[in-house]
């Protein structure tokens, strides 16, 4: 349900409506579209308030059937959005493969991997510079130096780069060097961070939380959009269930469900879902067959020596082989991989 | 872990070993392969007994790394098994599409659907004759008459038929008319029924339980195999998780994981996973891309009038359109659909 | 939502309404209360049909807010139901403890345990006679002999007995000897079996399925009630989640939620939830504190030699010690244990 | 499994061992106990490396059975730890009730609630000053002013105060005013924040993440302890499962399981688990009966006007009534509430 407010509604009236909903335990999200304010009500409990809200000052209309994430919904924009990551458009007929190591480890490593994945058809380079690690003796990521190495690899290969940002204080720095900012699964509901990446101009890759519903993913995207940045790409990467045979359960249905709900591009990350490189090509192919607009995979020149996520990283030959299959699958569903 | 017993071991010695394991809370499964008995230990707790078991009378060897489902494991048979459903081989290079209505409703209906799906490339006809329904006023399925209608549709189209059996007392009857017996998700751990279908000669289509782990699926298959019938096809059809956007969460990873573990064919049922016909083609394509040996889908000539599962049944044109995509995806992964 | 039909509505009109709902994918449950038929609609999707149903022949009223399980709901009967198990009333001020071994193993074993648990305050004796086992070399339960031994233990101690029934063909036999019939978690949605126990006069102990929602538990109870038997006791025994530290996750909230929804008694089974005897007293106490009308626990005179479920069975001294705590907790919440 | 390093081991040797484990996909946690370093290996996969690690420079011993969280484990400290929150000891024979509003809203509100809960037997005052909110028009919490109001309420009532800290930059400020710092469920694996609260001297209330396993809770606690602060209280507050009848599934088994594993105090938060004030007293009683060392509940003088979490907040009379029951239940299990 959406409450549409009158243009020029006072801040006080807005706040009164928000308070009423929250006092009754409803969750909501406020979106400004042009000069109109929309309040999306998340809980069905809140819908019980419709009659009271309808007569409050400042309310223009109530749209019962509307999803609570107006800007990112298909209802708001029927046609699919293209998100440009530098010169690569995500969300069009091309299925965009984003590949690279879990962590940037050295100039040689990132250059080697970048060249190899570019040759095999990857269009965007991924690599971690800031890593949240559990031990002071663990490899911490190269931090700012990692960003420089990513930028150098971009210059060398022409591949735009995406890298994760884990803290609000790092957003400006990462946005200076990277072409797209990644919000990791653990931060999908870190509202301060969503706000911060929503206030800078680079596109955002938003990964689904490990126990987040599809509705929550869309609300998080709306949150970024509300902060001013509608260049958001969603990413399915596995959810936590009772099944332990894989690291997470890859919810491939999320792809067609999300694409029915939102105009934003939707990609898949089979590496984190599987946790096992042997399974990655099958899951990547499943994602493309299901309609994904892109694939994000971990690739390493020497996975057995990788400083993180070795077991789920593809080898260079493994990546090249997978790309052959993905190209054929993309063709089969009327898409293409360059 | 597997305990291999000596040939000619006495019933008493077998029982002593089983008792010891069960008294310590271990779960197990006994398989007879040729003239050798294998006891598969399911729980890690049971592995703590290895040293005590090793010295018991009748024990030939303990294989710590072996999975507890010896007959269905890849270790036992490296090459993939072909399961013949009348003249259709499942598990080879062909991806076998099994299609038809949720319920057999009338001679006209099943004939119409059978002709249409055969024309579009389906190789096996599915249809329910015995339905477990929650209301005495619900359509109960045509029962034995449904079996005759399925058989008539087979004669007309040449498609072998698969239908569900829900009770031990119906096994002989269903096995007389059908070419493959389906065990539904709710009965995956109905050991009496598994035993009964394991003792008749027709192949068995075993669907994963809604909250069954992959290990439990393999143990259920081993149970059928232990009863004498190794012609088993496994089917992923969605698991219950926190996500409610789809009827169940389609665990597409189960396809490559199962195919790594077992030599048995593995198919997918996107209809029950999605619960929504709009999502079925994407999930079916995902399953084929992930390596499924077949696809089981619900198709109806008039879904809006179907007596059960209408919303998730494809229309005839919808099925034909999906088959075009599936053929292309099968080709893309080195398989084929006729 | 409930559709109330006119008295004397024709079978044809009933069937038309049922068909309409099912064709649209709605699930439903038909209850006969006195001479009035109520159709409970389970899915919200079915609620979209309200306007069409309202004008169909035979429809007296539509009650939008009513739960789909009329007979077992609090709305139908405000006051709590007492279920008499022979001379023991469950659902009143007394918290009824039901204890005994997983399996009846011998005359001596069941007599010893029955005497001990009676002395410690148990009011009903539990024990398995028919066991669903996964191996032909496993202890199969004593079957009919087990029923005689249970009856003998009842004569000796005065404790009524409850035992599981796993197949429709055994219902009449079990109902002859037992004072209450247990439906196990795996059979909670075995509609044939629910129907069969609903058609005999002994009370029914209905255990929640491992992945069943609370609504599904209530629908299963309504199913038994619809078949004519309203003497049903519900039992929470753990659900399957991502957490593996316990065998299942004991959903203690189910106790107050169920008691708010239904007038039927609600008990807990901490043994199967925990899978570990050390945890059983804490969970039993939690269940009583949360308002459970009874506790079902496994107790064995020699758990380390038990033929099944040894690790989760309390010892006799352990049971006695737990009873002391449970009595105090029952007092603390205004209940009592004799 | 724990790898114990030699005293005086070089940083280089430590790093080599850490790298080896991480390159093989193992997760680990490093704890310094006195002058000895312990590396806890989380994954069983890492255990396969035991033989290689054993012979590496700097390794003193490998303890296969040891849990990977040495400092917080019962093995390290057999007796239960007391955590002093100002003058209130948590973890002893007293069951400590912590109560107060979700958010501090005004001087009058917090003073009113603080007086009332103190009178009814609460020993610690809770109240949110920094709130992570999803809308700019939502009540944001009073921030620093909220901390002053909490401190004033403490001066007035003598109750120590606990309040949540949501960002590293706020830790010092919150630690100045509060007597205990709360880490919310969403931040349970925010390692920077864990590190920061581990480096200040006030006790820490660590809430279980909504999809965190019990092992992950203990690892998070070890993380805080490794940073130097062992004054940690754990809190069960519900996990996400398929069941939607409650906001979350209250995993009461976590109480006895955690108390078997760790010497740290364990409390429960029934308000967030239930999401519904009607259910709170039953769940609180269940938690105390299961052995919880404390209860954290939301209480408001006017829940229907509360600016957040109104529906799950107890009224003042509701709190007083619940306290009567909790005192009796605490007595029943050999504990006490003042």
D283 part of a folded domain: yes
pLDDT for the residue numbered A94: 98
Q: Does A27 touch chain D (CB under 8 A)?
A: yes
**SS3 for A285-296, per residue?**
HHHHHCCCCEEE
Distance CA C326, CA C287 (A): 10
| C-alpha distance from D112 to closest chain B C-alpha (Å) | 39
pLDDT for the residue numbered C44: 65
pLDDT for the residue numbered B114: 97
Taking residue A10's Cβ as centre, other Cβ atoms within 10 Å add up to 12
Contacts of D260 in chain C (CB under 8 A): 278
Do B93 and B211 sit in the same domain of this protein? Answer: yes
Structural element, H or E, at residue B225: helix B214-226
Contacts of D244 in chain B (CB under 8 A): 244
Cα dihedral A225, A228, A232, A236, rounded to 10, equals: -40
Do D126 and D270 sit in the same domain of this protein? Answer: yes
Do B312 and B246 sit in the same domain of this protein? Answer: yes
Do B100 and B236 sit in the same domain of this protein? Answer: yes
C59 part of a folded domain: yes
Whether the pLDDT of residue D313 is over 70: the answer is: yes
pLDDT for the residue numbered C289: 98
D337 part of a folded domain: no
B71 part of a folded domain: no
pLDDT for the residue numbered D132: 66
Instruction: Give the residue, D130 or B284, on which the prediction is more confident.
Output: B284
Question: Within chain A, which residues score under 70 in pLDDT?
Answer: 43-47, 132-140
Stretch B86-92: mean pLDDT, rounded? 97
pLDDT for the residue numbered A23: 78
Q: Residue C13 belongs to what domain range?
A: 2-66
Chains in contact with C, counting 3 or more C-beta pairs less than 8 Å apart as contact: A, B, D
Distance CA B302, CA D263 (A): 64
Do residues A249 and A240 make contact, with C-beta atoms less than 8 angstroms apart?
Answer: yes
Tokens of A111: 């250059």
Residue whose tokens read 């993440």: D209
Do B103 and B60 sit in the same domain of this protein? Answer: no
Number of structural domains found in chain C: 2
CA distances to C36, C229, D263 from C194, rounded to whole Å, are 22, 10, 47
Tokens of D70: 């040495």
Bridge partners, A163 (sequence order): A181
pLDDT for the residue numbered C306: 75
pLDDT for the residue numbered B44: 65
| Residue of B242, B244, B246, B247 to mutate for D, most D C-beta atoms under 10 A | B242
Q: Does D255 touch chain C (CB under 8 A)?
A: yes
pLDDT for the residue numbered B311: 84
Q: Residue A27: exposed, middle, or buried by beta-carbon count in 10 A (0-12, 13-18, 19+)?
A: middle
Distance CA D336, CA A166 (A): 44
| Residue of B9, B11, B18, B25 to mutate for C, most C C-beta atoms under 10 A | B25
Distance CA B201, CA B228 (A): 9
Task: Tell which of C11, C31, C66 closes a domain.
Answer: C66
Do C211 and C302 sit in the same domain of this protein? Answer: yes
Residue D63 DSSP SS3: strand
| Residue of C48, C242, C243 to mutate for A, most A C-beta atoms under 10 A | C242
D77 part of a folded domain: no
B78 part of a folded domain: no
**Of the listed ranges A49-58, A70-79, D46-55, D234-243, the one predicted with least confidence:** D46-55
Do B249 and B321 sit in the same domain of this protein? Answer: yes
Distance CA C31, CA D208 (A): 43
Interface contacts A/C by beta carbons within 8 Å: 6
% chain D with pLDDT above 90: 67
Query: pLDDT category, D252, cuts 50, 70, 90?
Result: very high
Q: For residue range B186-211, what is the model confidence (pLDDT) as tens digits? A: 899 888 899 999 999 999 999 999 99
Do residues B241 and B273 make contact, with C-beta atoms less than 8 angstroms apart?
Answer: no
Instruction: Give the residue, B18 or A80, on which the prediction is more confident.
Output: A80
Do C58 and C91 sit in the same domain of this protein? Answer: no
Do C136 and C198 sit in the same domain of this protein? Answer: yes
pLDDT for the residue numbered C66: 86
Contacts of B241 in chain D (CB under 8 A): 242
Do residues A224 and D167 make contact, with C-beta atoms less than 8 angstroms apart?
Answer: no
Contacts of C29 in chain B (CB under 8 A): 134-135
Nearest to D205 by CA among D129, D312, D296, D281: D296
CA distances to A120, A125, A305, D195 from A143, rounded to whole Å, are 28, 17, 20, 18
DSSP state, residue C148 = H
pLDDT for the residue numbered B133: 62
CATH number at residue D36: 3.30.70.1140
C338 part of a folded domain: no
* Residues contacting C34, CB < 8 A, separation 6+: none
Q: Does C230 touch chain B (CB under 8 A)?
A: no
pLDDT for the residue numbered C20: 84
CA distances to C87, C159, D278, D300, D312 from D309, rounded to whole Å, are 46, 48, 14, 10, 6
Whether the pLDDT of residue D193 is over 70: the answer is: yes
Do C7 and C134 sit in the same domain of this protein? Answer: no
Do C179 and C241 sit in the same domain of this protein? Answer: yes
Angle between helices A107-120 and A144-157 (to 10 degrees): 40
Tokens of C123: 């009011």
% chain B with pLDDT above 90: 67
Tokens of C74: 């609090």
* Residues contacting B187, CB < 8 A, separation 6+: B166, B193, B194
Query: pLDDT category, D31, cuts 50, 70, 90?
Result: confident
Do residues A118 and A112 make contact, with C-beta atoms less than 8 angstroms apart?
Answer: no
Residue whose tokens read 């390093």: D5
Do C207 and C99 sit in the same domain of this protein? Answer: yes
Q: Closest to D28 (Cβ–Cβ): which among A19, A135, A312?
A: A135
Residue whose tokens read 């958010």: D103
Task: Please spell the DSSP secondary structure of C69-102, one letter per residue.
Answer: -TTTBTTT--SPPPEEETTEEESSSBPEEEEE-S
In chain A, residues 187-206 whose CB comes closer than 8 Å to chain C: none
Distance CA B328, CA D291 (A): 60
**Cβ pair A241:C244 closer than 8 A:** no
Stretch B272-282: mean pLDDT, rounded? 95
Nearest to C150 by CA among C141, C160, C165, C136: C160
Tokens of C206: 């209905």
Q: Is the dihedral of CA B298, B299, B302, B304 positive or negative?
A: positive
Q: Is the dihedral of CA D135, D139, D141, D144 positive or negative?
A: positive
Q: Closest to A25 (Cβ–Cβ): which among D15, D29, D311?
A: D311
Chain A residue nearest residue B329, CA to CA: A332
pLDDT in tens, chain C (338 residues): 888 999 888 888 888 888 888 877 778 888 887 788 888 888 666 667 888 888 899 999 888 888 889 899 998 888 999 999 999 999 999 999 999 999 899 999 999 999 999 999 999 999 999 876 656 566 677 888 999 999 999 999 999 999 999 888 899 999 999 999 999 998 998 888 999 999 999 999 999 999 999 999 999 999 999 889 999 999 999 999 999 999 999 999 999 999 999 999 999 999 999 999 999 999 999 999 999 999 999 999 988 777 777 788 999 999 999 999 999 999 999 999 98
B174 part of a folded domain: yes
Distance CA D182, CA D203 (A): 9
**Cβ pair C241:A244 closer than 8 A:** no
CATH number at residue C221: 3.20.20.70
% chain D with pLDDT above 70: 96
């Amino acid at each position: 349900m959406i409450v549409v407010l009158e243009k020029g509604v006072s801040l006080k009236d807005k706040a009164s409506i928000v308070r009423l909903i929250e006092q009754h335990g409803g969750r909501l999200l406020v979106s400004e579209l042009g000069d109109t304010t929309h309040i999306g009500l998340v809980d069905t409990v809140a819908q019980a308030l419709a009659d009271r809200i309808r007569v409050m000052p400042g309310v223009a209309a109530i749209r019962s059937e509307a999803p609570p994430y107006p800007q990112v919904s298909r209802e708001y924009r029927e046609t699919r959005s293209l998100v440009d990551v530098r010169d690569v458009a995500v969300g069009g007929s091309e299925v965009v493969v984003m590949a690279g190591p879990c962590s940037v480890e050295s100039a040689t490593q990132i250059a080697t991997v970048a060249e190899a994945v570019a040759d095999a058809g990857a269009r965007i380079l991924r690599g971690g510079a800031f890593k949240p690690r559990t031990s002071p003796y663990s490899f911490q990521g190269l931090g700012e130096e990692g960003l420089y190495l990513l930028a150098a690899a971009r210059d060398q290969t022409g591949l735009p780069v995406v890298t994760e940002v884990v803290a609000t204080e790092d957003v400006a720095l990462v946005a200076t060097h990277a072409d797209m900012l990644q919000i990791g699964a653990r931060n999908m509901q870190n509202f301060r961070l969503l706000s911060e990446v929503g206030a800078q101009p680079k596109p955002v890759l938003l990964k689904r939380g490990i126990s987040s519903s599809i509705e929550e993913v869309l609300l998080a995207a709306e949150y970024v959009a509300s902060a001013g940045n509608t260049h958001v790409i969603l990413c399915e990467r596995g959810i936590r269930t009772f099944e332990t045979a894989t690291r997470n359960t890859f919810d491939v249905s999320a792809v067609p469900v999300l694409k029915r709900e939102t105009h934003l591009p939707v990609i898949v990350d089979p590496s984190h879902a599987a946790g096992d490189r042997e399974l990655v090509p099958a899951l990547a192919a499943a994602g493309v067959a299901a309609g994904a607009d892109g694939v994000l995979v971990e690739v390493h020149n020497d996975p057995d020596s990788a400083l993180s996520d070795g077991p789920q990283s593809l080898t260079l030959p493994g990546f090249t082989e997978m790309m052959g299959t993905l190209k054929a699958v993309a063709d089969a569903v009327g898409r293409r991989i360059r």
